[in-house]
Amino acid sequence: DTGVSQNPRHKITKRGQNVTFRCDPISEHNRLYWYRQTLGQGPEFLTYFQNEAQLEKSRLLSDRFSAERPKGSFSTLEIQRTEQGDSAMYLCASSWPLQTTSTDTQYFGPGTRLTVL
């Protein structure tokens, strides 16, 4: 399967614990995005990378959140001192921007569902 993969698919943690999620994008894609989706809502942008550079971060991404893409391939999203409000689906997407058409289609992974008790 050459799509976007995310691990783990589910994570249950206690409030105050740290969690880390991994995303493996489609191999030739140089842009990678993180979104958060709560129940009954559309995905909300968190941050994106072009290669290894983190180019934009949402105000939703508090100091407890950090994302990395050290070699421009896979990415990790860490949440420190989790809170119950962090419970959500965390989605990763990747894209290969087409310079001529600028459509930059984003392909999403299956997500990691985080439950904070």
Nearer to other proteins, 54 or 80 (CB): 54
Rounded Cα distance between 16 and 48, Å, is 26
Residues that bind other proteins (CB under 8 A): 4, 31, 33, 40-45, 48, 56, 58, 91, 93, 95, 97, 102-111
Q: What Rg do the C-alpha atoms of the chain give, in angstroms?
A: 14
> Across-strand partners of 112?
90
Nearer to other proteins, 4 or 19 (CB): 4
Smallest distance, Å, CB 31 to other proteins?
Answer: 6
Nearer to other proteins, 31 or 80 (CB): 31
Smallest distance, Å, CB 21 to other proteins?
Answer: 13
Backbone angles phi, psi at 74, to 5 degrees: -75, 165
Smallest distance, Å, CB 16 to other proteins?
Answer: 28
Q: Tell me if 94 sits within 8 A of 25, measured CB to CB.
A: yes
The token pair at 91 is 């989605």
